[in-house]
Structure 1
Amino acid sequence: MVVQPNFDVGPVLEKFANVERIAVLRGGGLGDVIYTYPALHALKVAYPEATITLLGTPIHAALTAGTDGPVDDVEILPFAKGVRDAGPGDGDQVDETEDRLAQEEFFSAMRARRFDLALQMHGGGRYSNPFLLRLGARHTVGTRTKDAEPLERNLDYIYYQNEPDRWLEVAGLAGAPTIISPPLRPLPEHQQAVQSLLNPQRSPLLVVHPGATDPRRRWPASYFAEAAATIAQEGAQVLVVGDRAEKALAQEVTELVARQLPVGHKNAVRSVAGELEIGELAALLDAATVMLASDSGPRHLAQALGTPTVGIFWVGNVFNAGPRGRSLHRIHMSWVTECPVCGADVTQVGWSAQHCGHDDTLIRGIAVAEVVQDVHDLMATSLLLRGK
């Protein structure tokens, strides 16, 4: 790992003394935690004797268990407003009394671990800063909106900022310079497990993820199908991925592709949505030549593994989540700034924005032919650029 000055990210303040146990608060989904990984690598280098405990969600624990990365262990967050809100994948929501009891048990257990440094990498701090302070860590660092409780060292939270850079800036406030962090690595057992999915008669391999948590970020299924069919007819294998909630969407894409393929190519495309654990997904993405996806957690995972990606983004999300380089990653942006149904300004996002209530896609206008061309370009240079 190469240490670099933080001139283009933020200042590097003095390190804290005698740090052996670090806690990092980050709720949310797969992409949310991957945003923090460059900062976690930086902390690992700055505090080589310290353990890093991620306070996160079940999918974060699965990612940590399924890849070789900077996190030593994961503590699952209790349900708490603005930190870990119960969602569709969390089963039945518990009542407020049970929530409070679970939170008290969590804080008691975390205080017993006597963290030396706790970092808040979860939004503007309105809810997450009071939560972090209850851990009882000797030192606290994180982001803060003007109405949030202050920590020992604070970074002003401004919504439109590249997320990995935001958390690198927080790490800098904790004394950790920016580094060129290594890619995530899938575990050998997961690499072996996905070998049966790979068709040696078809190459290269395109992995497609048509889903996104916010429906407004989803490219239409028919567009993904047209792109995948074009690539499959040229001899490539196409695997469509997604979680269990996305099985129907993935199946829709594969069925649309099958209608466009001649008989000899029918076995080129398959959905494996809902079939892979997170470690196996990482191994499959590592084996892929290129990934094609909307702005989503699996696309961020592919990027973290060093796999070339073609991403379909709404322009506002590019500021926060788009990759910065273009050798390995291509971006197609929709410049739509108003809801296509009611005309509401969709650029006003963040903690205080009100959703207009319409989930129509904002990225329909991105042309399939231009996306396919970028898939072709990256397939032609993928092995050379990845050093494989």
Structure 2
Amino acid sequence: MADLRAEFGGADIAGWGVGPVLEKFRKVSRIAVLRGGGLGDLLFALPAVSALVAAYPGATVTMLGTPVHADLLGGTLGPVRDVRVLPIAEGLRPGREDPAAIDAFLASMRDEEFDLAVQLHGGGRYSNPFLLRLGARHTVGTRTADAAPLERSVPYAYYQHEPLRGLEVAGLAGAPPVGLEAKLRPQDRHQSKVREFLRRLRDGPATPVVAVHPGAMDPRRRWPAVKFGEVAAACAADGCRVVVLGTADERQLADEVVTAAGSDRVISLAGTLSLGALAALLDSCAVLLGNDSGPRHLAQAVGTPTVGLYWVGNLINAGPLGRSLHRVHLSWVTRCPQCGADLTQVGWTAPRCEHDSSLLAGISPADVYADVRLFTARTPLAHGR
């Protein structure tokens, strides 16, 4: 126990959550949470944010994130409302850096006089020095061996479920879990518009709507569009309406799914929805079928059942914890189909090979459809409603 106390900066261990829950910091009224990345990355961080809000009920929590984070949190109801968009900075937000913009951002954040800064962005090689420049009285986060030390930290290992990793970090600040998964609610202004759209789309109030998201940031995590189309066609034949989702950059991919489905009951909404509207739409769907991607995580956060398609390594880091509402189909491929490179050596431990072949191509459409059918056949499981 003495060794553990030394590792956590001499703090007493007050209890256990995902990891040790240490004693709370005193007089904390301003908290900053650092998390860059995409939509899924934000949703992975929200359970930790909820824990911090509960542990420090009088404190203001400020999320330091990306434009997509600001869009989602501005269009939904959740545990944090104050979002500041990070400048482009290496390891935090990709693009061409402007050192003056970084300095100006950090100076404005120091004016906030944060009492606690929480690092939920990777192993800390880039994020820990950035966090320390906020000037907070206390700092907690994850840390690789080459990262700058924080007041309290836990070792970063790539293969760990991301929401649970965040909860382990929250425990360093004395914040035990209040939930294991992100929870968001759509805003009424988006729900009213979505209800009207679905009223016109459906044949009647009982018509199930199936959402399909064929995209993923890493092309290797994408199930082939023709297979999505095969499942969409089967759902359409069952009497469902199918909406294919995606960003403006994913319109061509969504169109490929619609073409493969060959049914006028399957339409594309790619590039037409704000994130607030997307959350409201997903809340009204019977199920979302998708790869390991932001929309699948968002569907889970609003309480919609999902059928997820995962490479096995990604399931460890980003898979749903339960199976009553969230089914998964796995690819067990561990080597690149083209060059044989070991795909299990990820993160900073090995370079990525140049090939983008789908690792999910071997997953059976018939098996996937069987799970989608669980949530479209009007069973008590769908939405638990």
TM-score, normalised on structure 2? Answer: 0.93
Distance in 2 of aligned mates of 1:341 and 1:190: 45
Distance in 2 of aligned mates of 1:7 and 1:204: 42
Query: 1:322 pairs with 319, 325, 348, which one?
Result: 319
Partner AA of 1:125 in structure 2: G
Aligned to 2:8: none
Partner AA of 1:121 in structure 2: L
**3-state SS of the aligned residue for 2:42?**
helix
Partner AA of 2:304 in structure 1: T
Aligned to 1:294: 291
Distance in 2 of aligned mates of 1:324 and 1:257: 31
TM-score, normalised on structure 1? Answer: 0.92
Please tell me whether residue 42 in structure 1 is matched to residue 46 in structure 2.
no
Query: 1:75 pairs with 74, 84, 92, which one?
Result: 84
Aligned to 2:203: 201
Shift of 1:310: 0.1
Q: How many residues align?
A: 367
Partner AA of 1:200 in structure 2: R
Aligned to 2:168: 169
Write out per-residue CA displacement over residues 191-249 of structure 1, whole angstroms, 9 at most, x where no aligned residue.
11222431231611100000000000000000000000001111001000001110111
Aligned to 1:90: none
Distance in 2 of aligned mates of 1:185 and 1:6: 31
Q: Is the 8 A contact 1:290 1:382 kept in 2?
A: no
Write out per-residue CA displacement over residues 274-333 of structure 1, whole angstroms, 9 at most, x where no aligned residue.
000000000000001000001000000001111100000000000000001000000000
Write out per-residue CA displacement over residues 176-202 of structure 1, whole angstroms, 9 at most, x where no aligned residue.
011136731000000112224312316
Percent of aligned pairs with the same amino acid: 59
Q: Is the 8 A contact 1:328 1:382 kept in 2?
A: no
Partner AA of 1:171 in structure 2: A
Aligned to 1:100: 99
**3-state SS of the aligned residue for 1:107?**
helix
| Poorly superposed stretches of 4+, deviation over 6 Å | none
Change (3 A) 1:257 1:6: farther
Distance in 2 of aligned mates of 1:81 and 1:183: 30
Query: 2:242 pairs with 238, 245, 256, which one?
Result: 238
Distance in 2 of aligned mates of 1:192 and 1:269: 22
Query: 1:377 pairs with 368, 374, 380, which one?
Result: 374
**Mapping for residues 323-362 of structure 1, pairs under 5 Å:** 323-362=320-359
Worse-matched range after superposition: 8-17 or 341-350: 8-17
Aligned to 1:229: 233
Distance in 1 of aligned mates of 2:15 and 2:324: 23
Distance in 2 of aligned mates of 1:378 and 1:74: 35
Worse-matched range after superposition: 344-353 or 217-226: 344-353
Change (3 A) 1:101 1:169: same
Aligned to 2:132: 133
Shift of 1:379: 2.7
Unaligned runs of 5+ in 1: 87-92
Q: Is the 8 A contact 2:375 2:382 kept in 1?
A: no
Worse-matched range after superposition: 376-385 or 363-372: 376-385
Unaligned runs of 5+ in 2: 1-13
Shift of 1:378: 2.6
Aligned to 2:255: 251
**3-state SS of the aligned residue for 1:363?**
coil
Partner AA of 1:70 in structure 2: P
Aligned to 2:11: none
Change (3 A) 1:165 1:46: same
**3-state SS of the aligned residue for 1:208?**
strand
Shift of 1:381: 6.0
Aligned to 1:270: 267
Partner AA of 1:229 in structure 2: A
Aligned to 1:386: 383
What is the aligned-residue RMSD (CA, Å)?
1.5
Q: Is the 8 A contact 2:64 2:86 kept in 1?
A: yes
Aligned to 2:192: 192
Distance in 2 of aligned mates of 1:140 and 1:127: 15
Shift of 1:84: 1.1
Query: 1:51 pairs with 60, 65, 81, which one?
Result: 60
Distance in 2 of aligned mates of 1:21 and 1:186: 26
